[in-house]
């Protein structure tokens, strides 16, 4: 409400001022042409930001289920608040120069400088907004400054960027039209008229205007003038929405980038004493000693963008119109331990290594991009190395891509296998990595050369934008509403051939296979996968060739549980640190935690709690109310209290332990 009040105050001041200056009788307050020009230019940028928001919603409309009038008006109002901050920050140098109390502002060269600065700054801001229109489906959040760190290790960014532009050529046209509008706006708002004030009175008048401008500027970028008002942040967008994913409508990309340039991901929390937090949400795990460790091989296979929507095994309720794109995985699910309710802990590929191998979820920002990524960690590879395991990681992209090689070194992986080790660039897809079929075969054969026991991780790549297939497979796999569908079919075939090759290897029958995805698909087609719960639904499948683990399991599981589950299966009997839990041997109720658009989500039993760090925003039965339409917050009895305690304890454990470098067993 504070932001709304101050936005109204800002408008009132401008309207009142313009009315007053139009009165010919008050000659002394007649406005300077530069001042009027500045106001008109900034007003024009407000309009262009609004157009960008409209384009964002139109191109991503299937992600937002409800458009009732009150909700839309709240989005618009919130959007104006955040646009104000972004526009003022983007134009800070332009505003400062335009309001200097010197007559040099009227020189032609100075006006040219102002115009150039205005065009450049706002064109970049509009470009960021338009790029996010098309990048949003891949992350389901507005882009932040972490994107620069996320792709800093990519050697083929130029090729990828060109491909992005050609695939979304219509976005380029939209951007060029908006850029042309900025140029036109600058031209038609060029200062005109005669400077009324002269001499000493000019400087007094100019200083007053400058002071007024700076006062409004400070209020605008802070979100208000009250002493209690903090500078507005991304989380403030939550007050204008009903669902976490709607936050992206209210926000704009320049705001998100600028506000996260110096952001500290972690904040100290004191909901409980450290002992109470450990009791409510334990992170040091002790398994009872029950004999010798079972030193089976462990192979974790991560399939790019493999959301549950593609897998027929998870979609038996869809009727005859449904097409499964994973016939091999469907058959594998039937003879594996397959979890019905399984979830990712992030929405980006760089989230997967910390989640699966270190049991660290992506909260606020991907862990590897935070200031605490150098904390002491005890990963699954590290723990198993202490027990005589050889550890490895396979990813067919250029070595160093996405920082996987660096993170592998940090968590104790013995050997990294990338494009360099593969050694045949003729099998490169031209954009991301070696084709899945060839790299899966390479994976199968290389495992035969590695000493047992081993723990290995394989990360596929072919089901990634730009969704290409080898020429020999054009028209072979079923097409779907999105080009990723055929790529999933191709990767499923590659996975089948991998198992055919691996089954003839001596290490095969002594291996536990865990299959999951890095994150869910970018553009779900079924409504149940468009909810804030569905956006995290990925498979977690445990296959043992001897059939010792099988069946459909209804327990909740998340990617950060994979490390504890593996250690439990292996009968590892030493204490270890994990934010996840061994769901196969847990006595208490399991839960799932993930984070989206400033909101935490806690799954527990049949319920999904959505909350920020201060209050609950919603409670839903995600099993029976799959579209999350019925908010039962306040009507669920003591279970809601339990969930709120668990979430607060998790928040405190996660943030405080990161800040204090306590994410390992002392």
Does the residue 429 lie in any domain? Answer: yes
User: Distance (Å, rounded) from C-alpha 42 to C-alpha 9?
Assistant: 17
Peptide bond into 453 cis (omega under 30): yes
Structure-token pair, residue 449: 């050369």
User: Distance (Å, rounded) from C-alpha 504 to C-alpha 546?
Assistant: 14
Q: How many domains does the chain have?
A: 2
239/327 same-domain check:
no
What CATH number does residue 357 fall under? 3.40.720.10
189/294 same-domain check:
no
Place of tokens 């219509």: 170
220/358 same-domain check:
no
Count the neighbouring beta carbons within 10 Å of the beta carbon of residue 495.
Answer: 23
Does the residue 19 lie in any domain? Answer: yes
Count the neighbouring beta carbons within 10 Å of the beta carbon of residue 217.
Answer: 18
DSSP calls for 237-302: GGGG-SSGGGHHHHS-HHHHHHHTTT--S-----SS-HHHHHHHS--EE-----SS----EEEEEE
254/280 same-domain check:
no
Alpha-carbon distance values, 506 to 441, 445, 515 (Å): 16, 11, 21
Does the residue 346 lie in any domain? Answer: yes
77/133 same-domain check:
yes
First to last CA, the chain: 46
DSSP calls for 593-618: EEEETTEEEEEETTEEEEE-SSSEEE
User: Distance (Å, rounded) from C-alpha 602 to C-alpha 561?
Assistant: 14
**Domain endpoint, select from 196, 230, 258:** 258
Give the length of the chain.
666
Does the residue 108 lie in any domain? Answer: yes
Please state whether 659 falls in left (phi above 0), alpha (psi between -120 and 50) or beta.
alpha
pLDDT tens per residue across span 389-431: 999 999 999 887 888 888 898 898 999 999 999 999 999 999 8
Count the neighbouring beta carbons within 10 Å of the beta carbon of residue 638.
Answer: 7
**Domain endpoint, select from 199, 234, 258:** 258
pLDDT over threshold 90, residue 165: no
Q: How far out from the chain centre does Cα 407 lie?
A: 19
613/567 same-domain check:
yes
pLDDT tens per residue across span 528-543: 999 999 999 999 999 9
234/313 same-domain check:
no
Boundaries of domain holding 289: 274-659
250/285 same-domain check:
no
Does the residue 430 lie in any domain? Answer: yes
Does the residue 665 lie in any domain? Answer: no
353/454 same-domain check:
yes
Mean pLDDT over each residue of the chain, to the nearest integer: 87
pLDDT tens per residue across span 467-477: 999 999 999 99
Cβ–Cβ under 8 Å, residues 272 and 280: yes
Full 3-state SS string of 431-481: CCCECHHHHHHHHHHHHCCCCCCEEEEEECCCCCCCCCCCHHHCCCCCCCC
**pLDDT at residue 385, rounded to an integer:** 96
**pLDDT at residue 155, rounded to an integer:** 66
pTM (global) more than 0.85 = no
Does the residue 241 lie in any domain? Answer: yes
364/232 same-domain check:
no
User: Distance (Å, rounded) from C-alpha 80 to C-alpha 252?
Assistant: 10
Q: What is the DSSP letter of 28?
A: G
223/291 same-domain check:
no
- The mean pLDDT of 632-642, rounded to a whole number, is 94
Q: pLDDT confidence of 581, banded at 50, 70, 90? A: very high
**pLDDT at residue 495, rounded to an integer:** 98
Does the residue 263 lie in any domain? Answer: no
56/89 same-domain check:
yes
Q: Give the torsion through C-alpha atoms of 619, 582, 302, 451, to 10 deg.
A: 170
**Domain endpoint, select from 194, 224, 258:** 258
């Amino acid at each position: 409400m504070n932001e709304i009040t101050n936005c109204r105050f800002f408008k009132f001041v401008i309207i009142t001022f313009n009315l007053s200056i139009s009165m010919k009788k008050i000659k002394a307050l007649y406005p300077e042409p530069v001042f009027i020009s500045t106001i008109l230019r900034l007003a024009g940028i407000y309009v262009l930001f609004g157009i960008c928001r409209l384009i964002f919603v139109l191109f991503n409309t299937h992600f937002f289920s409800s458009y009732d009038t009150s909700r839309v008006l709240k989005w618009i109002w919130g959007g104006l608040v955040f646009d104000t901050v972004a526009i003022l920050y983007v134009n800070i140098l332009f505003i400062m120069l335009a309001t200097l109390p010197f007559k040099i502002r009227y020189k032609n060269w100075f006006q040219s400088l102002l115009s150039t600065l205005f065009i450049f700054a706002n064109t970049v801001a509009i470009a960021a907004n338009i790029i996010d229109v098309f990048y949003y489906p891949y992350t389901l959040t507005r882009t932040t400054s972490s994107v620069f760190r996320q792709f800093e290790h990519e050697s083929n960014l130029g090729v990828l960027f060109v491909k992005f532009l050609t695939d979304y050529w219509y976005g380029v046209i939209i951007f060029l039209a908006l850029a042309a509008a900025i140029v036109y706006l600058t031209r038609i708002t060029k200062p005109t008229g005669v400077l009324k004030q002269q001499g000493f009175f000019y400087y007094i008048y100019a200083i007053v205007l400058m002071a007024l401008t700076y006062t409004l500027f400070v209020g605008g970028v802070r979100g208000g003038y009250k002493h209690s008002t903090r500078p507005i942040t991304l989380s403030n967008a939550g007050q204008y929405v009903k669902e976490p994913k709607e936050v992206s409508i209210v926000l704009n990309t320049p705001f998100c980038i600028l506000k996260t340039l110096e952001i500290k991901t972690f904040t100290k929390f004191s909901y409980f004493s450290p002992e109470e937090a450990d009791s409510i949400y334990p992170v040091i795990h002790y398994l009872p000693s029950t004999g010798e460790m079972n030193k089976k091989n462990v192979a974790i296979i991560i399939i790019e963008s493999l959301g549950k929507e593609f897998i027929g095994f998870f979609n038996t309720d869809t009727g005859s119109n449904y097409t499964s794109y994973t016939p091999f995985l469907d058959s594998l699910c039937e003879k594996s331990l397959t979890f019905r309710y399984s979830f990712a802990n992030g929405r980006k590929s760089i989230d997967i290594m910390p989640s699966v191998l270190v049991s660290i979820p992506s909260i606020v920002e991907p862990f590897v991009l935070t200031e605490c990524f150098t904390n002491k960690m005890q990963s699954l590879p590290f723990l198993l190395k202490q027990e005589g395991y050889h550890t490895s990681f396979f990813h067919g992209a250029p070595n160093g891509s996405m920082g996987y090689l660096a993170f592998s070194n940090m968590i104790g992986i013995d050997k990294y296998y990338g494009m360099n080790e593969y050694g045949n660039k003729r099998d490169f897809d031209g954009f991301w990595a070696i084709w899945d079929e060839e790299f899966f075969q390479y994976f199968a054969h290389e495992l035969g050369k590695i000493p047992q026991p081993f723990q290995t991780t394989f990360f596929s790549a072919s089901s990634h934008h730009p969704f290409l297939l080898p020429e020999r497979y054009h028209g072979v796999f079923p097409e779907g509403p999105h080009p990723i569908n055929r790529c999933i079919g191709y990767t499923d075939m590659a996975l089948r051939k991998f198992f055919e090759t691996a089954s003839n290897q001596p290490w095969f029958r002594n291996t536990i296979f865990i299959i999951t995805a890095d994150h869910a698909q970018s553009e779900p087609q079924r409504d149940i996968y468009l909810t804030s719960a569905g956006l995290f639904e990925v498979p977690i499948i445990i296959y043992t060739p001897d059939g010792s683990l099988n069946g459909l399991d209804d327990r909740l599981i998340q990617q950060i549980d994979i490390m504890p589950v593996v250690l439990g299966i292996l009968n590892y009997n030493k204490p270890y640190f994990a934010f996840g839990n061994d769901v196969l041997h847990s006595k208490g109720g399991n839960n799932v935690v993930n984070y989206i658009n400033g909101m935490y989500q806690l799954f527990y039993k049949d319920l999904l709690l959505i909350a920020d760090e201060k209050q609950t925003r919603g409670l839903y039965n995600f099993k029976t109310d799959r579209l999350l339409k019925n908010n039962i917050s306040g009507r669920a009895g003591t279970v809601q209290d339990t969930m709120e305690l668990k979430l607060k304890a998790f928040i405190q454990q996660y943030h405080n332990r990161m800040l204090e470098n306590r994410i390992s067993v002392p």
